[in-house]
């Protein structure tokens, strides 16, 4: 397929312009070149008459593909659908061919408030092709002009407009655009099928999906897509024939989130700890631990942040504790005991036994004077729906709250992260913390 049209220079010279695609276009093609394509499109009646009896079919672009009147020029065809910066005739042809003639993959255009973001699914993620924001007072003129510009930008991204699927968050999002966006799906319905994300507002959904938690956020379509990308594999998102699907469970990993701290004076710090017993000792806790894993946390308002992770066996216990204490003192100069949060009584017993066996008298005294163990088991049980849990194990509690149980279990760092996730979810949803 080739587009041919006639243009005139200021001196009256007649030239032919041709367009096959954006990389194959120009002026005055040879007849052999034209005839090598099976179909000619034009907006020139002269070209139409010239090739009337040719073996190569020739038709008007406006009539054969776009359903418009025959007595209009190329610019009128372009401006019927599009508006935007045009450097030359090839820009108009590229938009028309990409938007209506060439096939393309499916594309999704998300509208959040007055922002638009269009994207495709590629390489197991959402690839953003472009964004636009409507920033004028709503009127028939401003909305219509904006939508022509949006169409133009999407077409220049190489997307056939028939393959664009519009997405809204909720059912009140179409205000002002109902004359242009006639068919759309709701992203809230998509998330409503995912355990762990049901019945949440857009903002709360993004807070769960994003690894960067902000206390205040201005929601945009691009922000939503970037947050979805952070959880793309976790959600198991896939595309089939222009429809997005997801595995129907989402477990939030709070232990991997980031956040900016506005006022460090409002922060409190501590440790979430897990100990694994020694193998082959019939569960004797007084023999100490085999492995220890922990997280240095920061509690800031209703957000729990993972600042650092540490691990050791008994041989490295003294050096590890010395480093951990200095790290916490780096964050805060307050002379208060360090809260060490554990789940159940066994961790405290194993930790104390290992300290007695492997640390110097000076280190044992420092640990005794500067730490305080807090068993959070009762706190957690009092803040969950116990009827939905089959046994009060960390993994079962985590799943009931929609947070990530980190596998494999009985790895001290993984179990500490699972406990972190549970406490972070309770803090975010209720404002309550064990300390």
Same domain, 208 and 237: yes
Residues 40 and 75 sit within 8 Å (Cβ to Cβ)? no
| Same structural domain, 347 and 310 | yes
Do 165 and 268 belong to one domain?
no
Cα–Cα distance between 131 and 150 in angstroms, integer?
9
173 falls within a domain: yes
CATH code for the domain in which residue 364 is found:
3.30.420.10
Model pLDDT, residue 38:
84
Check: pTM over 0.85? Answer yes or no.
no
Using pLDDT thresholds of 50, 70 and 90, give the confidence band for residue 174: low
pLDDT above 90: residue 422? yes
Q: Which two tokens stand for residue 105?
A: 């993959």
Q: Tell me which residue range forms the domain holding 201.
A: 107-250
pLDDT tens for each residue of 71-96: 888 999 999 999 999 999 999 999 99
Do residue 73 and residue 201 come from a single domain? no
Q: How many CA atoms lie within 13 A of 210 on its CB side?
A: 20
Two tokens at 154?
Answer: 């999407």
In whole angstroms, what is the distance from residue 6 CA to residue 77 CA? 16
Q: From 230, 221, 223, select the one nearest 124 (Cα to Cα).
A: 230
Q: Which two tokens stand for residue 302?
A: 């209703």
The domain boundary residue, chosen from 188, 216, 250: 250
Tokens 């007595």 map to which residue?
71
As for how many domains the chain has, the answer is 3
The helix (H) or strand (E) run that includes residue 26 is strand 24-27
Angle between helices 140-156 and 89-96 (to 10 degrees): 90
Which of 38, 72, 101 is the endpoint of a domain? Answer: 101
* Same domain membership, residue 408 and residue 275: yes
Q: Does residue 69 fall inside a structural domain?
A: yes
Q: Rounded CA gap, 209 and 400, in Å?
A: 17
Inter-residue contact 175 to 208 (CB < 8 Å): no
Q: Is residue 302 part of a domain?
A: yes
Residues 296 and 419 in one domain: yes
Least confident stretch, 32-36, 71-75, 328-332, 379-383: 328-332
Same domain, 231 and 355: no
pLDDT, one tens digit per residue, over 228-241 is 998 888 888 989 88
């Amino acid at each position: 397929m080739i587009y041919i049209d006639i243009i005139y220079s200021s001196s009256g010279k007649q030239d032919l312009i041709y367009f096959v695609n954006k990389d194959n276009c120009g002026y005055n093609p040879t007849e052999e070149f034209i005839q090598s394509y099976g179909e000619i499109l034009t907006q020139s009646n002269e070209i139409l008459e010239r090739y009337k009896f040719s073996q190569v079919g020739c038709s008007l672009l406006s009539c054969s593909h776009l359903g418009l009147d025959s007595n209009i020029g190329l610019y009128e065809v372009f401006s019927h659908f599009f508006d935007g910066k045009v450097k030359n005739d090839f820009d108009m042809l590229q938009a028309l061919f990409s938007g209506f003639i060439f096939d393309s993959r499916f594309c999704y255009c998300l509208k959040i408030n007055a922002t638009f973001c269009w994207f495709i699914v590629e390489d197991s993620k959402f690839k953003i092709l472009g964004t636009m924001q409507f920033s004028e007072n709503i009127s028939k003129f401003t909305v219509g002009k904006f939508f022509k510009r949006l169409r133009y930008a999407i077409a220049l991204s190489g997307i056939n407009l028939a393959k664009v699927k519009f997405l809204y968050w909720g059912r009140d999002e179409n205000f002002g655009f109902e004359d242009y966006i006639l068919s759309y799906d709701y992203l809230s319905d998509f998330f409503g099928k995912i355990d762990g994300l049901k019945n949440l507002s857009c903002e709360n959904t993004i807070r769960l999906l994003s690894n960067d938690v902000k206390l205040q956020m201005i929601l945009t379509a691009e922000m939503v897509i970037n947050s979805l990308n952070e959880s793309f594999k976790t959600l198991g998102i896939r595309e089939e024939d222009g429809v997005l699907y997801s595995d129907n469970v989402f477990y939030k990993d709070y232990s991997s989130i980031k956040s900016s701290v506005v006022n460090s004076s409002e922060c409190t710090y501590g440790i979430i700890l897990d100990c694994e017993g020694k193998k082959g000792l019939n569960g004797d806790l007084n023999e100490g631990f085999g492995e220890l894993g922990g997280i240095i946390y920061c509690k800031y308002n209703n957000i729990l942040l993972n600042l650092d992770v540490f691990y050791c066996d008994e041989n490295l216990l003294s050096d590890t504790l010395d480093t951990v204490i200095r790290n916490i003192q780096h964050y805060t100069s307050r002379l208060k005991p360090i809260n060490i949060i554990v789940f159940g009584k066994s961790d405290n017993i194993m930790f104390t036994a290992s300290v007695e066996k492997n640390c110097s008298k000076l280190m044992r005294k420092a640990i005794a004077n500067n730490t305080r163990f807090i068993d959070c088991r009762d706190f957690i049980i009092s803040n969950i729906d116990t009827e939905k849990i089959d046994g009060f194990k960390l993994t079962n509690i985590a799943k009931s709250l929609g947070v990530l149980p980190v596998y494999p279990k009985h790895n001290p760092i993984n179990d500490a992260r699972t406990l972190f996730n549970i406490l972070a979810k309770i803090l975010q949803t209720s404002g309550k913390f064990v300390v």
